[in-house]
Amino acid sequence: MNSSITLPRACLFALCLAGAAVALTAEEKNLATNGGFEDVKNGAPEGWFSVCNEGGSVTHKAVADAPKEGKHCLHVKSKGEWAVAGSPKVKLDRTKTYTLVGFARAKSGAATIKIDYFKGDEHLGQSEGEECTKGEWTELKVVSELDDHKDATHILVAAVIHGDGEAFFDGFVLTAK
C-alpha cells in the first residue's frame, strides 16, 4: 500500500513550497495598513486617525478626487501649527531598515510624510520627508532612523501638514529590509 505513504509526502512537499513562497513575498509586503486608502468607512480611510496641535483643527477623509492610484486618496485639511493623519502602528523588527514611499499634492500649505517612533503608546520622535507645496502628485520618501530611537517598539506612517493647509495623499508603501 504505497499510496498511503506517498500521498502525505506529496502534501508535505507542497506545504513546504507554499511556506517558502510566503517567506519570500513577506520581504516586500506593504506594512502600511490601507496605504492606498481604498478601504473606506464612514467617509474616512479605515484604520487611520488624525490629530493636530491643541487649539488647531484637522479633518481626514477618503475622497475620489483625482487619486494617484486606485479610486480613493487621503484628503487632509487643517488649521493650526501642524496636523497629522496616521496609520495603525506596526511592531518593529529592529534588525531591519524601514522605507516609506508615498505621494502628496498640496492644494494649499506644505505637506509631507513621516515615520513616527513609539515605545508602546509613548511618542518618541519622527523622521520626515521633504515638503511638497506643489499641486501635482509628488513622490516623497523617508528611511527609518532606528539608531536614533533605541527604545522604539513600534512605528506608524503618517501624512503631515505644516501650518494651515489642505493636501491629498496616496500610495503609501512601507517596506522592511
Residues within window 62-91 making contact with Ca ion, judged by CB under 5 A = 67, 69-70
Q: Minimal distance in Å, beta carbon 170 to Ca ion?
A: 4
| Span from 25-33, 36-44, 85-93, 146-154 in contact with Ca ion (CB under 5 A) | 36-44
What is the rounded distance in angstroms from the CA atom of residue 158 to the CA atom of residue 126?
10
- Residues near 53 by Cβ (< 8 Å), separated by ≥ 6? 80, 81, 82, 83
Binding of Ca ion by 125 (CB under 5 A): no
Task: Give 89's DSSP letter.
Answer: P
| Span from 6-14, 81-89, 90-98, 166-174 in contact with Ca ion (CB under 5 A) | 166-174
Contact 77, 94 (CB under 8 A): no
Binding of Ca ion by 170 (CB under 5 A): yes
Residue 140 backbone phi and psi in degrees, to 5: -125, 155
Q: Decide whether 19 or 43 has the Cβ nearer to Ca ion.
A: 43
Q: Minimal distance in Å, beta carbon 98 to Ca ion?
A: 21
Binding of Ca ion by 35 (CB under 5 A): no
Sign of CA dihedral 75, 140, 46, 57: negative
Contact 143, 97 (CB under 8 A): yes
| Span from 20-28, 31-39, 91-99, 149-157 in contact with Ca ion (CB under 5 A) | 31-39
* Matching residue, cell 493650526: 80
Binding of Ca ion by 36 (CB under 5 A): yes
Binding residues for Ca ion, rule: CB under 5 A, are 36-37, 67, 69-70, 170
